[in-house]
Amino acid sequence: MRERSLPASPNWYSSRCSDVSSSGLLGVGAKNVIYLIEVSAASCRVTGELAGHRDLVSGFSFCQHPEQSHVCVSSSTDGSVHFWDSNNKTFISKHAAHQSPISAVHWSPADKNLVVSGDEKGVVVCHWFHTGDTASFFPEPRTIFCLTCSPHSWKSVAVGYKDGMIVLIDISKKGEVMQRLRGHDNEIHSLAWSPLIGEDALYTRAEDHEATNGVSAGEESGCFLASGSKDQTVRIWSTAKGKGVMTLKLPFLKRRGSAVDPAVKERIWLNVHWPKGRATQLVSSCFSGELAMWDLAKTGKQKWSLFGTSSEGQNHSRIVFNTSSVQLQDGRELLISTSMDREIKCWDLNSLSCCWTLPTLGGHVYNLTFSPVGVGCLALGVGDNMIRVWNTLNSQNQYDIRSFWQGIKSKVTALAWHPKKEGSLAFGTDDGKVGIYDVFSSKPPQISGSYHRKTVYTLAWGPPVPPLSFGAEGKQSYSLYSCAGEGVILQHEPARLNGEASDINKLIKDTNNIQHKLSPHTDLSWKPDGTVVAIGNEDGSIDVYQAPSLTLLCSIQQHHKIINTLRWHHDHGSPPELHCLLASGSSNAVVYVHDLRAVIENPPESPALLTEPYRRLCGHTAKITSMAWSPHHSGRLVTASYDGTAQVWDVLEEAAVSNYRGHTGYLLCVDWSPVDPDVIWTGGKDFTVQEWKVSEQEFTKPPKGKKMGLLQEKKQKKKNKTASVSVGPVGPKINGEPVTEGKQTKTEQALSEDEEEEVRSTNSLESPAAVNEMQRKSTSAAKTKDKPDLMKKKKPRSMLPLSTSMDHRPKEQLLQDCVTLASVRHSSAPPAGCVPGRGDYVHLGLFHDREALYRMFEAEEESHVEAGHYDSVVYLRLWSGDLQGALQLATERGELNDHLLSISPMAGFEVWSRTVEAFVKQLCLQEQFLKAASHLLSINKLYDAVDLLRSNKLYREAIALVKARLPADQPLLKDLFTCWAAVLEKDGHLSAAAKCYLGAGCSFDAAKVITRKNDVPSLRTAADLARISGEEALGQSLALRCAKDLAAAQDWVGAQEVLSSQSPLLAHRLHLCVAELVAATLADSGAFPTASCVSAHPWATLKGSHTLQDRVRDIWEEEFHVCLNSDGNRSVDALLQELRSVETPARSASIPFRQVLLYSSVHLARSLLSWLWNDDGQLVTELWQAVAWLWDAGHFGISAMFCRLLFPEGDVRVFSRKHSKTLQLSDGEVSSLQALVCYHRLYECWWRESAVQNGPGSCSEDEAGMAELKERSSKGPDFEPSVLLSEPHAACQAAQRSVREIQERLSAMILQHSRLQDGGPSLTASSDQQQAAAEVEQRSEEQETFLSLSSQMSKFQEVLANIPNTIKMFPRPDVVECCLVLLHLSKSSSISDVLRQQAIDLLRKYGTSPSVLKASRGFLT
């Protein structure tokens, strides 16, 4: 059907978009089509294509197993996977398991039925070709870039991701990740497995080899994996160890006179390919299209050798995307590469030289034309912004093509060779540019100075017309005419192409005295002798003008749509009456041929109007795009159409000669070979140029349109319904023959032929089985429609359909069978050609001997295989005694069942064992894992059964199986429990995970996993579990966490219950006892609002006049039996040591109050234990910390109430009257504590004084209460305020205030400087000089202030350094503040003059801040 062809360019940026079969057939994905190319060491030939994908082909792979090497698979970005038969070029089946665009696909070299694909969302799908089953996995949530199946094990698949991760998964274990290979930091472009199993081929050092051999025998030997990444490195990985063993950096090679700069990021696609049988040789792509062969066993830096160094120009010029290799029958090994330079190259792997190059096309083929001077020189205008010039007569190189791209920035839409000047080629582009190339020169093209506004449709060389024809009489010269989308035809002068072109419309109007606007022009064609030009218009008219004045001879009004193409008949070797034939094609699908001889030879005085054509060529179903007259015949025309076909016509007979349907899209151009009368070239939307022979085409007419076919089908159905004899419904026609019997008229035969051709053209992807299935469905549907009420029981399928069908023949033939059978059985000379069980006598095998029966079985098997009934074939083999063959067939088809398995032991133990393993694999694909594991037990493969259950997450069943069949101390049991626990923990089933850890004997892990929920019940359960299991430390820590959470929720009883189960936590129980008592007492006093208490102990109240510390001591003795004489774990020393281990953070005002209360209670409990231990120093320190926590947290009222509970008399020295405990005031802590207590008493006095002064109108107290307040206020303060007026503390506080003020001023100054340096607000032009002077002055003042502040800071820091540490460690309330409050109280209370004078002196000396000076103004004047 097809001779030579230029296919579409292979798709870019795909990891495996091309592959070559073991028989030397190359498949290349281009756009949404796969092109099939026969390759050899000498040449290549495009044999066909596989079309069916709706979107781009993203992957392609052949099955590498010899018995089905013709089967291939392709993937697409539309999410589908298609299986194809490359021999018949037919579609087999489709899988649509992906929901996202597929990025990679590979047919497993280790399993002839397994195909693995991956998509952009990270989903990996396994497709089983023989059963049609699929299984999906999601190993990683990443974008898959490539994947490859191991050639040694069907289970192993390597997946490369966009982020540089490589993952090895086991598809037999639901895609479980076996290894993660980390090393690349960018996209993984390609992966390749080593062709040899084992990992000792690359180790050249002895220690490396020993390290490899040191792996235990139970471990897999592994296999090397090569990866290529965008990070410009090739890495070799050990899959057994899960790490890299070698890193290869791409060489930076000199190219085009300059070196590649490693710092500049080059566009790169790093493909790797590991040829078969070459364990130490790896092929990879490099920068700018080079290919390198790496010798992995070679030492030194340069381990690579470049391809194509034998001669210049062999390498690709741009990056390489795919490589694949094939070994020919003569032993030569070839490598096929595809590149961004749109070339497919074949390399010899032994010599590393290029064998041949196949150019491809990256856009629509808009125009093709043969040179009238250079014989066989074909020019192609392509949508990839390039012109190709093909020497089609080169016998040594069938694809001798040169590309021209200089000066072309858009699609090349028009071409025209110069009629006389060899090598001069005019071109027009999509952006309106017109130029001329000299194809024999390397110079850039000449570009016309006049541009069209729209796409250039047509170029034509013709004689010059005015104004260019003036002065050109007697000279043979040519002008270039261009017609473009805006409807204008420009005349360009080739000698001065950069000059302005002339619009011929002006000449037409002037010559023909036309006043109206001309219709936009769409095409033009000069008659070969240059006397006449035909111009097609947008309104469907054709105007014929006489040169050089362009006098209108006639106007043709036959087309009603836009004229797309015009062609004059050639004038060499043809009768004169044909020289004036003009063929025209438009958008209305009919080709008209006009005979203009009378008009041209005898020009009329006024333009003639032609309305009838000379010939009408009907058949195309879409618009005509191009046409060409045969230079070898008279009156033979070829037309190209949007219906996707090229049609050859005998114009004089108006007959269709031949129809070509090799393209997959609409056609755009056509031309006849100048040397072979039987060869035509076409190009179109499918990015291909095809050479084909007229005499070898199967069809003669174009296919019928869809509407016409439906109309004819309806007419045919009506005829069948009205027929007197019912012959059944009309089904699809196969090979031109109708399904129904009976004769047809001539019209019906022609109709059926057209329908048959349409079916073939539109359903070319359907397999014969699919057509048969359609036939069966349509027949059954028609029967159901005719008899809807007839319900028959489905008849079982016959095991012997061929012999059964032979018994339903006419009576005469059945009688003859009896005679034939008798002759065979009783005659020594049976009838000639009669072999029972074979051919036309297949049914007689049942009535003859066993050999005849076996022959009949073979014929029946072939029939069942064609129909796809493999189960019947299995049973026929069983009947014939071929049990092993039956099992083998069922295994290959994935149709094993329990019955076949039950009879398999009849064939021997080995066959039975293999059958069980195959059935297990089949059940796993059907996700019947429990049944599969049970069958593994039948052949005593217990560990395999357990591993199967575990890999499919059936841990419960696996554990039950191990506990039932293996000893209790089996390590596998613990491993199963641990794995199951990890899965449950990940899914959030923490209680079940804890049970698994307990089953594995991991009590610690069980307790830890329960605590992950972090609620009170879980913590309590985990603490009990840890205590029972003997994990005492963990149990205590968990119980303590739970108790703290309960205490924070005011569940005091629950907290004590949790701690009571852990006897070593008695100290923490005492702490919570103190916290509960303090919280309850503060809540009863109304010091702070509390939430509802969940539970509380009855002892959590103060009794009588007891202080807080006395009540705590009594509760400890009564409830917890802790006293001075306690021993053992209740001894005061042990409890104090345990409580000291509790850490408290630094005091801060940002800590929540409930936490502050717990921290303060810790220090109070320590203080009381120190009291029992008779350690006064520790008692005072911890007591001060307890009060300081509430003070520093900013809770003033609570701090005051806490101090009153501890010291109701206001005297710190009286710690306990009940137990006669006093403190010495000389200590720094005690005096600071006394100052805090007095501070609170001072403010209480002030508030009473304010209440008395404001009167009863503003207070809620009654008269008796007011009298009591007046009496108490007149007596003066009920404490000794002198402790508040400490001059050392006042000096310390003043220095600290000064330091803080200086620090704030310095911070503000630094911030102002930084803002000035960053750039302040813009200034007006009138104040620039003044502002600059002010900035200089301000800068000097700021510099002086900064120095003075620094010196002041140093001075105050020295003052603070000289102050004793006891004053700084135990601070007191602000002395200046206390002085002001005392002076206010002195107005109405009895404050001694000495104390008042002391306060005034301290104010004058240390009250220097503006706010203090303002407040003390009335006391200091």
pLDDT of res. 173: 86
| Percent of the chain whose pLDDT exceeds 70 | 85
pLDDT (average), residues 335-357: 93
pLDDT of res. 1299: 84
**Tokens, residue 1264:** 């008796």
The angle that helices 1003-1010 and 1032-1048 make with each other, rounded to 10 degrees, is: 10
Model pTM above 0.85? no
From residue 294, give the alpha-carbon distance in Å to each of 147, 297, 303. 22, 9, 6
Least confident of 688-702, 707-721, 791-805, 836-850: 707-721
Least confident of 182-191, 862-871, 995-1004, 1023-1032: 862-871
d(CA 885, CA 883): 5
Least confident of 469-473, 789-793, 808-812: 789-793
pLDDT (average), residues 965-980: 90
From residue 1357, give the alpha-carbon distance in Å to each of 161, 265, 1287, 1302, 1352. 62, 58, 18, 11, 9
d(CA 1172, CA 1161): 17
N residues, the chain: 1421
pLDDT band for position 379 (50/70/90)? very high
User: Is it the case that residue 213 has pLDDT exceeding 50?
Assistant: no
> Per DSSP, which regions of 604-755 are E strands?
608-610, 615-617, 624-629, 636-641, 646-650, 655-660, 667-672, 679-684, 689-693
**Tokens, residue 356:** 């041949």
Contact in structure between 349 and 333 (CB atoms under 8 Å): yes
Contact in structure between 318 and 289 (CB atoms under 8 Å): yes
**Looking at per-residue confidence, does 813 or 282 come out higher?**
282
pLDDT (average), residues 170-192: 92
d(CA 1060, CA 1176): 30
- What is the edge-to-edge ordering of all strands in the sheet holding 272-273? 272-273, 281-285, 291-295, 304-306
pLDDT of res. 895: 86
pLDDT of res. 794: 61
Average pLDDT, the chain: 83
3-state secondary structure of 656: strand
pLDDT of res. 1253: 63
pLDDT of res. 285: 93
User: Is it the case that residue 876 has pLDDT exceeding 50?
Assistant: yes
**Tokens, residue 718:** 């009506």
pLDDT band for position 1049 (50/70/90)? confident
- What is the edge-to-edge ordering of all strands in the sheet holding 57-62? 57-62, 71-76, 81-85, 90-95
User: Is it the case that residue 952 has pLDDT exceeding 80?
Assistant: yes
User: Is it the case that residue 746 has pLDDT exceeding 60?
Assistant: no
- Which own/partner pairs from 858-863 qualify as long-range (CB within 8 Å, at least 24 positions apart)? 859/802, 860/799, 860/800, 860/801, 860/802, 860/803, 863/801, 863/802
pLDDT band for position 142 (50/70/90)? very high
Q: Say which amino acid occupies 605.
A: E
**Tokens, residue 25:** 């057939």
User: Is it the case that residue 1293 has pLDDT exceeding 60?
Assistant: yes
pLDDT of res. 1089: 61
Residue 413 φ/ψ, nearest 5 degrees: -105, -10
3-state secondary structure of 1211: coil
Which residues does residue 669 pair with via DSSP β-bridges, in sequence order?
683
User: Is it the case that residue 1326 has pLDDT exceeding 70?
Assistant: no
Phi-psi region of 189 (alpha: psi -120 to 50; beta: other; left: phi over 0): alpha
Gyration radius from the chain CA atoms: 51
pLDDT of res. 476: 58
pLDDT of res. 884: 87
pLDDT of res. 763: 35
Q: How many helices (H) and strands (E) does the chain have?
A: 37, 61
Q: Residue 613: is the preceding peptide bond cis (ω within 30°)? A: no
Q: Say which amino acid occupies 1374.
A: D
pLDDT band for position 189 (50/70/90)? very high
From residue 776, give the alpha-carbon distance in Å to each of 90, 749, 779, 861, 1134. 20, 23, 5, 21, 94
pLDDT of res. 740: 34
Contact in structure between 190 and 146 (CB atoms under 8 Å): yes
pLDDT of res. 210: 41
pLDDT band for position 732 (50/70/90)? very low
User: Is it the case that residue 790 has pLDDT exceeding 80?
Assistant: no
pLDDT of res. 1360: 79
3-state secondary structure of 438: strand
456: nearest Cα among 505, 492, 402? 492
pLDDT of res. 793: 57
- What is the edge-to-edge ordering of all strands in the sheet holding 134-137? 102-107, 114-119, 124-128, 134-137
Least confident of 301-315, 439-453, 587-601, 1078-1092: 1078-1092
User: What DSSP character marks residue 926?
Assistant: T
Q: In angstroms, how far is CA 206 from the centroid of its own chain?
A: 43
- Residue 1212 CB partners (closer than 8 Å, separation 6+): 1223, 1225, 1230, 1233, 1234, 1237
Maximum CA extent, the chain: 159
pLDDT band for position 468 (50/70/90)? confident
pLDDT band for position 200 (50/70/90)? confident
pLDDT of res. 204: 44
- What is the edge-to-edge ordering of all strands in the sheet holding 343-348? 320-327, 333-339, 343-348, 353-359
User: Is it the case that residue 1084 has pLDDT exceeding 90?
Assistant: no
**Tokens, residue 334:** 């070839």
């070029």: which residue's tokens? 89
Q: What would the pLDDT profile of 35-68 be if each residue is shown by its tens digit? A: 999 999 888 999 999 999 999 999 999 999 998 9
Pairing relation of β-strands 386-391 and 377-382?
Answer: antiparallel
Residue 59, CB-side half-sphere exposure with 13 Å CA sphere: 31
Exposure b/e, 1066-1079, CB count within 10 A at least 16 = b: bbbbbbbbbbbbbb
Quick one: 431 exposed, middle or buried, by C-beta within 10 A (0-12, 13-18, 19+)?
Answer: middle
Terminal Cα-to-Cα distance of the chain (whole angstroms): 122
pLDDT band for position 217 (50/70/90)? very low
DSSP string, 974-1001: HHHHHHHHHHHHHHT-HHHHHHHHHHTT
Contact in structure between 282 and 274 (CB atoms under 8 Å): yes
User: What DSSP character marks residue 567?
Assistant: E
Cα 295-296-301 angle, rounded to 5 deg = 80
**Looking at per-residue confidence, does 1216 or 1337 come out higher?**
1216
Contact in structure between 489 and 481 (CB atoms under 8 Å): yes
pLDDT of res. 1151: 84
| Percent of the chain whose pLDDT exceeds 90 | 45
User: Is it the case that residue 1130 has pLDDT exceeding 50?
Assistant: yes
**Tokens, residue 135:** 């299984």
**Cβ of 519: how many Cβ atoms within 10 Å?**
16
pLDDT of res. 1266: 53
Q: What would the pLDDT profile of 114-133 be if each residue is shown by its tens digit? A: 999 999 999 999 999 988 89
Least confident of 224-233, 613-622, 1211-1220: 1211-1220
The angle that helices 1393-1406 and 1287-1318 make with each other, rounded to 10 degrees, is: 20
User: Is it the case that residue 1330 has pLDDT exceeding 80?
Assistant: no
d(CA 585, CA 626): 7
pLDDT of res. 866: 79
d(CA 1108, CA 449): 107
pLDDT (average), residues 737-751: 35
User: Is it the case that residue 561 has pLDDT exceeding 80?
Assistant: yes
3-state secondary structure of 283: strand
pLDDT band for position 719 (50/70/90)? very low
d(CA 98, CA 1320): 59
User: Is it the case that residue 828 has pLDDT exceeding 50?
Assistant: yes
145: nearest Cα among 162, 131, 125, 121? 162
- Residue 953 CB partners (closer than 8 Å, separation 6+): 174, 983
